[in-house]
Amino acid sequence: MRAAVVTRYGPPEAVQVRQVPKPVPAAGELLIRVHAATVNRTDCGELNPRVFGRLVFGLRRPRRTTFGFDVAGVVEAVGAGVTAFRPGDRVFGMCPYRRNGAQADYVVVPETAPLALIPAGLGFAQAVVCEGAYYANSGLQQFDVGPAHSILVYGASGAIGSAAVQLAKARGAHVTAVVATRHLDLARSLGADRVIDYTADEFRRLDARFDFVFEAVGKTSYFRWRRLLKPGGRFMATDIGPWGHYLPLLLASALTKTHRVTVPLPRRGSAPAFVAFMRARLAASQFHAPIDRTYPLEAIADAYRYVMSGQKAGIVVIDVAGSDG
């Protein structure tokens, strides 16, 4: 089978499509024929991590050789004892972090992995939506964002940001989306109450105050946003920053009740319930991830290059099986 293999840290060229043995599911595992996967910011961070990232992904080389958290495909075989799924099931969800991922023709995952059946009528490409939404939902859920709150989402056109806009609106919050000029219409289509071009004077003159600022792209500092936070407001980041620059702020925020800096990572064991939640939203047509580009598996290095350019909107899909099926 084909797999996008990574044996060293480096640029997109370090991702090479090779022939590797097809995995066999052991007891309690299922083999998925992958139809769609994604390349996202997490994958790019795993390909070329900074200092703190290497503590997670591996000091000298990646701990796993195939990336890809989002998966959508068809169960081809199951190991002994598997009862939740059967061959022929169309499934979607997330691959476990410490195992090889979905950027391959086949992937083996445990039955306990965060998976669910794809809703009827939904294509595989429309189902690889979980990873970005998982990070977006984590902060909204942990801080119980709701109708009484206002939230500014910076980078509202990306995989995490576009999910944050939709999920915050679903919780009843007033959402201000900040995006590039070319993404204004996209942000409006997501349901944001107010959409601001970050290159325009309106953004520079912005004097509103928010309960939450959600920095969805990891490109700016808390100090750029603190004047826009209400007393007791929270700045939510999606990681600790390229060089861990949020770590001192996280410590300081623990000692004060004014402007709290948080990195609300998903809680351990929360993924299965989240995928079930997303299935319900997809089935009810209450969530969609904008698809920016689609690449075949053979061109996955180009997909990494595009995501690393910082120009993408929504998700970048890898069409592994050759069609959306």
Structure confidence by residue, pLDDT tens digits, 3-31: 999 999 999 999 999 999 999 999 999 99
Residue 57 DSSP SS3: helix
Q: Could you read off the pLDDT of 201-216 as tens digits, one per residue?
A: 889 899 899 999 999 9
Report pLDDT for 198: 93
CB–CB of 165/172 below 8 Å?
no
Strand partners, 234: 212, 260
Report pLDDT for 312: 93
DSSP at 88: T
- The predicted model scores a pTM of 0.92
Q: What's the rounded Cα separation, in Å, for the pair 302 and 39?
A: 10
Instruction: Taking residues 93-115, report their average pLDDT.
Output: 96
User: What pLDDT band is residue 266 in, cutting at 50, 70 and 90?
Assistant: confident
Report pLDDT for 302: 98
CB–CB of 85/111 below 8 Å?
yes
Tokens found for residue 135 = 């990070």
Q: What's the rounded Cα separation, in Å, for the pair 243 and 257?
A: 25
Report all structural domains of the chain as residue ranges with CATH numbers, in order of start. Answer: 2-129+289-319 (3.90.180.10), 131-262 (3.40.50.720)
Residue 324 scores a pLDDT above 60: no
Report pLDDT for 262: 83
Report pLDDT for 244: 62
Give the other-Cβ count within 10 Å of 19's Cβ.
Answer: 10
- ∠ CA 178-180-186, rounded to 5°: 75
Greatest Cα-to-Cα distance within the chain, rounded to the nearest angstrom: 62
Q: What's the rounded Cα separation, in Å, for the pair 259 and 121?
A: 45
CB–CB of 293/317 below 8 Å?
yes
Q: Could you read off the pLDDT of 207-265 as tens digits, one per residue?
A: 899 999 999 988 788 888 889 999 889 999 887 665 566 667 767 766 666 558 888 88
